[in-house]
Structure 1
Amino acid sequence: MTATPPASSNGWAISAPCARIEISKPRANRPEGTGIFSLVILLFGPPGSGKGTQSRLLSSWLGVPALSTGEMLRSEVAEGTELGRAVSELLASGKFVSDGMVNQIVVRKLQQPDYSRGCLLDGYPRTVQQAEYLEAFLASAGKPRAHVVHLDVPNEVILARLTSRMQCPNCKTIFNMSAETLGWTSECSECGSILERRADDREDVILSRLRTYHDVTGPILALYTGENYHRIDGTLSPDDVFHSIQERLRPCLNGLPTAY
């Protein structure tokens, strides 16, 4: 592995705007008090696997923030940084953000004091190049490798879940509806709004998203083996999935205190 961020990426390369951005490189020695994290957990799972639920539970249990790539990009844009302005221009023109820019945003975020205990990352790394950069950065900072929590759910289960869910258009809460109740108008238990089907919860769209997910994540998951890879049966109830994750992660915490 090399610590130098790649100049391009699989499906993410944007050449011209990237030339204006100086990509941070991992350094072998970093000063004390820079907020370098102690535990990084990468959360993987197909759409409908329950990643959002598990991310919230794990964040509360470990006392570490949960980050998604989308949230980090939006935050950078909202702060109006040079990097954020470059990202905004790319997104406005319908172009992809390069691996180098995403890597820089992630590393800058992880160096903040709020992440000294660690963090959960959802949606990063998205390419093999990003994964290799992250591992090189952790190694250069003297930190252990990231742990991968992989919520493994068969396609047929995902299809059944996503075609039977509805969402509140107001508070965005998602509800899994039984076959008997799908034909009835239902109210959101959180705010009382009328639930709606999501436009992208069609079988053809779901299958396309699943193919993309497996194509993207397969090579990344292949990089993580042994005690750093934790396959979790995502077909279980949310509580059972969470307990399974806890059992797998407890031996890896190295004294990091948990909420319970």
Structure 2
Amino acid sequence: MSHSCPKHLSHLLVSPGGAVDLDDIDPREVGFLGDEDKVRARLVEDAEAIDRLQDRLYAEGKRALLVVLQGTDTSGKDGTIRGVFNATGPLGVTVTAFKRPSEEELAHDFLWRVHMAAPRRGTIGIFNRSHYEDVLVGRVRNLAPKEAIEDRYRAINDFERLLTDNGTVVLKFMLHISKAEQAERLQERLDEPEKHWKFNAGDLEDRKLWGAFKKAYETALSRCSTDHAPWHIVPADRKWARNAIVAAIVRDTLETMDPRYPKMPWKPSDFTIT
């Protein structure tokens, strides 16, 4: 097990099997981070450290890191990827955005497309949405029988255990925003021409189901936070704080993994460049 979380962020971890009530977690409360300017500066340092650690992970080629980002519409999954991983060399990072399943994907079990996107050894994989859509949207929209949804929680835990048993460390972040903050961000997409492309009228339909999605998230967080693949609930109303929290945990986890450059079977002195 190679998960790690800075002590000042440990309260964001969901205890395995513990009850979750998102109403008890203020998406704007980030006082535990300290001074904003110092936090922003640390974010830059963390992003640079992640780049260095990823280079070692790639060279080692024995393990992988999977970062799962889940959250309601406008919670900042894209922004988190930019803010945390933009400094990371692209060679060893893959980003997969899971959208509505294709006919081919629907012809297989719900984890088929997800397993295909799991990061190869030596790389960091980032899921923008993930296999949890099948117990979130699937549950709220009644896209599968209740019995099938219940079975999926177990299947997800088994799948994540399979990944970890084979050298992939799994970090999961639920980007928690308030309904008021979502309203502001949706309005920005209507007011600012350069953000029109981000607006999806379907988001308004999901917004009407805010309460149902909240319950679905609470169930998934409770059922699927495990020792081998823990969930973190990230207060995400403040974008800088959201990015800083994710970066700190990713860096801490990579440092705990401590990837090493491989020892070569030769010495530099064995060669002469002419």
What is the TM-score normalised by the length of structure 1?
0.54
Residue 38 in structure 1 maps to residue 64 in structure 2:
yes
Distance 1:251 1:215, change over 3 A: same
Instruction: Pick one of 112, 118, 126 that aligns with 1:120.
Output: 126
CA distance, structure 1, for counterparts of residue 209 and residue 114 of structure 2: 24
Distance 1:39 1:187, change over 3 A: closer
User: What amino acid maps onto 2:104 in structure 1?
Assistant: A
- The answer (yes or no) to whether the contact 1:68–1:123 under 8 Å persists in 2 is yes
Q: Which has the bigger relative contact order, CA under 8 A and spacing at least 6?
A: 2
CA distance, structure 1, for counterparts of residue 77 and residue 163 of structure 2: 24
Tell me the alpha carbon deviations over residues 172-195 of structure 1, each in whole angstroms, 9 at most, x when there is no partner. Answer: xxxxx4xxxxxxxx6438xxxx88
Tell me the alpha carbon deviations over residues 66-113 of structure 1, each in whole angstroms, 9 at most, x when there is no partner. Answer: 212228x56xxxxxxxxxx633xxxxxxxxx37x633122222326x5
What is the match of residue 159 of structure 2? 134
What is the match of residue 22 of structure 2? none
- The answer (yes or no) to whether the contact 2:114–2:131 under 8 Å persists in 1 is no
- The answer (yes or no) to whether the contact 1:152–1:234 under 8 Å persists in 2 is yes
Distance 1:219 1:196, change over 3 A: closer
Matched residues, number:
174
What is the match of residue 86 of structure 1? 104
User: What amino acid maps onto 1:153 in structure 2?
Assistant: I
What is the match of residue 13 of structure 1? none
Unaligned runs of at least 5 residues, structure 1: 1-34, 75-84, 88-96, 168-176, 178-185
Tell me the alpha carbon deviations over residues 129-154 of structure 1, each in whole angstroms, 9 at most, x when there is no partner. Answer: 4522322321441444x111121112
Name the Cα RMSD after superposition. 3.5
CA distance, structure 2, for counterparts of residue 196 and residue 46 of structure 1: 14
What is the TM-score normalised by the length of structure 2?
0.51
Tell me the alpha carbon deviations over residues 218-242 of structure 1, each in whole angstroms, 9 at most, x when there is no partner. Answer: 2221121679333221011x33321
What is the match of residue 240 of structure 1? 241
Fraction of identical pairs, as percent: 14
Residue 155 in structure 1 maps to residue 179 in structure 2:
yes
User: What's the secondary structure of 2:64's corresponding residue?
Assistant: coil
Distance 1:37 1:229, change over 3 A: same
What is the match of residue 110 of structure 2? 102
User: What amino acid maps onto 1:245 in structure 2?
Assistant: V
CA shift for structure 1 position 247: 1.8
